[in-house]
C-alpha cells in the first residue's frame, strides 16, 4: 500500500485558487498567482490585504511558510524571512469574494433565484435575487452582523424587503437597472455621488459596507475555503 504525503506546496494552492477564481476570465496581467516562489512545504499560511507596518513581525510570530497578499505593490521582500512564499490575487479576489457576484455571500444573505446584474469585460460584477421578507432595519442588522459595520445607509421606501442587489460598483445606470428589476435595496462597497440622483428618483434603499470591510470578509471566506480543501493547513488572518 502506498502512503500519500500530506505535504502541501504553493503550486498546489495556486492551482486550486486559479480554478476557484476562474482566472481565465481575466486579462493575463490581472490573473495573479505565485508572487514569490518557495520550494518549502506550506503548513502555515497567512492572509493579508496589503503589506502593513507590522507584517514582518506578524509573519515571524506566526511562523508562516507562505503568505497571501491582496495588494502586494509596496511589499519589501528583503525584509521578510528567507524561504517565505507569496501568493497574490487582486481583481479575481475582489470580484469573487467581496461585494459582487459572490456565491458564498449570496448563501449568507439567503439570496435565491440569482441573476447577474452588471458586467465588465463579459464578467459579472453584481447579482440580484430574492430574500426571505424582512424590514429594512432587519436587513441592516443582518449586513452589520456579516461585515461588522456599515459605512453609509440610505433607507428604502418599501417597508418589506424582498429583493436585493449586491454589486461591486455603483453607477446611475446600475442603480436604475436594479430598481427596474425589482430590487428594494442596493448593497455595495461605497455609495458613489454620480448615483445619488438615481437612488432618489427610484426610491431604492442603499447600504454601503465599506470597501475594506468587504475585503476583510473576503479574507475570512478565503480562510474557510482553503481549510475546507486542506484539513491540515493552518490559516491566519492579519486584520
The three cell numbers of residue 117 are: 446584474
pLDDT for 1 beyond 50:
no
Contact status, residue 31 vs residue 50, Cβ threshold 8 Å? no
For 108-162, how does the pLDDT look when each residue is reduced to its tens digit (9 = 90+)? 999 999 999 999 999 999 999 999 999 999 999 999 999 998 899 999 999 999 9
Domains in the chain, ordered, with CATH? 10-93 (3.40.1390.30), 98-210 (3.40.1390.30)
Provide the 8-state DSSP code for 235. E
Residue 120 β-bridge partners: 123
pTM metric for this prediction: 0.92
Separation CA 155–CA 129 (nearest Å): 19
Amino acid at each position: 500500500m502506498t502512503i500519500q504525503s500530506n505535504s502541501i506546496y504553493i503550486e498546489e494552492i495556486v492551482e486550486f485558487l486559479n480554478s476557484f477564481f476562474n482566472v481565465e476570465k481575466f486579462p493575463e496581467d490581472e490573473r495573479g498567482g505565485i508572487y514569490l516562489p518557495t520550494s518549502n512545504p506550506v503548513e502555515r499560511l497567512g492572509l493579508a490585504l496589503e503589506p502593513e507596518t507590522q507584517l514582518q513581525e506578524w509573519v515571524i510570530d506566526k511562523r508562516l511558510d507562505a503568505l497571501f497578499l491582496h495588494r502586494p505593490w509596496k511589499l519589501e521582500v528583503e525584509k521578510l524571512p528567507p524561504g517565505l512564499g507569496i501568493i497574490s490575487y487582486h481583481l479575481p479576489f475582489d470580484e469573487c469574494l467581496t461585494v459582487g457576484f459572490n456565491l458564498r455571500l449570496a448563501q449568507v444573505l439567503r439570496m435565491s433565484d440569482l441573476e447577474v446584474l452588471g458586467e465588465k469585460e463579459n464578467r459579472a460584477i453584481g447579482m440580484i435575487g430574492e430574500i426571505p421578507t424582512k424590514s429594512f432595519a432587519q436587513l441592516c442588522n443582518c449586513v452589520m452582523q456579516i461585515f461588522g459595520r456599515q459605512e453609509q445607509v440610505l433607507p428604502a421606501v418599501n417597508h418589506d424587503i424582498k429583493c436585493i442587489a449586491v454589486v461591486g460598483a455603483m453607477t446611475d445606470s446600475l442603480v436604475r437597472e436594479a430598481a427596474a428589476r425589482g430590487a428594494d435595496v442596493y448593497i455595495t462597497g461605497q455609495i458613489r455621488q454620480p448615483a445619488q440622483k438615481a437612488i432618489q428618483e427610484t426610491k431604492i434603499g442603499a447600504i454601503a459596507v465599506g470597501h475594506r470591510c468587504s475585503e476583510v470578509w473576503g479574507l475570512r471566506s478565503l480562510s474557510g475555503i482553503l481549510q475546507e480543501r486542506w484539513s491540515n493547513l493552518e490559516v491566519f488572518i492579519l486584520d
